[in-house]
Structure 1
Amino acid sequence: MPRNRAFSEPEYSAEYSADCSVTLPSDPGQAVGRTHEVTVRSSGCCLCLPRFMRLTFAPESLENLYQTYFRRQRHETMLVLVVFAALFDSYIIVMCSVVYTTDKLASVLVASVGLAADIILYLLCRFGLLPDRISRRVVPYALWVLIAAQIFCYLGLNYARFHQASDTVGWQAFFSFSFFLTLPLRLTPIVLITTVSCGVHTL
């Protein structure tokens, strides 16, 4: 089966286009077929994870092909995270407008700029207006920076006079969880950006 060009990545060599097949229990017509093992990763930075979370395909080319496919599928779910960010800005605008005072003006303006950025980013991703390399390598991190900036601006502007340890913790936890569900990145970068966000928020 030739590899679909939609799942090709420049950093992967041509060896990943090799035919791969498995014998499924529901396929009685194939008595013999080539199978690929699933092994447990015994090296790298994820050794602290449970055994079932370190399963990889063997050979490594098949694992890389799977990871490429997995990240490609997540490009659609990343749009959900952009919508979450837009809804967060809309929430800030509505809440600050309901009980409006002069000190809420900065929060409304920042949230409005963030909402406009979310809408632009959604349209660019939804209609494929960005180059593929930028969409894969830059947009996930740009979205993380945008969301982190929105949370910290809301924390700094809306709670400027009466900080408490629990301010915006719920939002931080929600978006940290959303990163794991929606960003088209490997596990290690997601863990790192979540750690940075939570660490800065704690400080």
Structure 2
Amino acid sequence: MKVKDIEQSFVTNTGVNIYVRPLRAADAPYLVDLFEHMGTESRYNRFLQSTDNVGMDRIWSEAESIAYLTDGTSYGVIAFSDLPEREHAPVAAARYVLISAQQAEIAVSVRDDMQHMGIGTELLRIVIEHATEHGIEQLVGTVQNSNAPMWAVLKKLGHRLERYPEGSYSYIVFHINETAGRLEDWMDTAADFSPEPQIIW
């Protein structure tokens, strides 16, 4: 059974039960709730700009745009957990949007009080599996150079990564069909290309 057809659950490294399902068009309220539980730094790392003064109309518009995934060109998942103050609370989301037949842009968000539990890593694994099933070879994105947790997640996933620093952030190309173990062989030929990417693992 393909990833998009199933709902999943897992337990975090701190013992919290997480329920994951595909993102749906009606999930905009959950995405807004997730956004409201992300602090200034988390929002900046996700959107690469300050969002503290963004109006609610725009936030809702963006949430609706993200939730309304076009079948065949995008895919996303959303995670829930029963928290002390609320049952079935949205705690994280991840998605990709096709750029070309073999390449897609990826993004992940985790609310502040649920970070460092492995939730973002697990959602990315699910999204990567779906992308692989659909012939995608590369996932791309932009990551703040100071976003140490995200770099740790990318390393943990174990795929070959190219990193192109651009000031305070880096553009990344994540080769999901290749493991990090191929890095040494690939570096032997990397010098033949210009500009040369900074390979970090």
Give the structure-1-normalised TM-score.
0.29
Query: By percentage of residues, which structure has more strand?
Result: 2
The one of the two structures with greater contact order (alpha-carbon pairs below 8 A, sep at least 6) is 1
Query: By percentage of residues, which structure has more helix?
Result: 1
Give the structure-2-normalised TM-score.
0.29
Query: Which structure is larger by alpha-carbon Rg, 1 or 2?
Result: 1
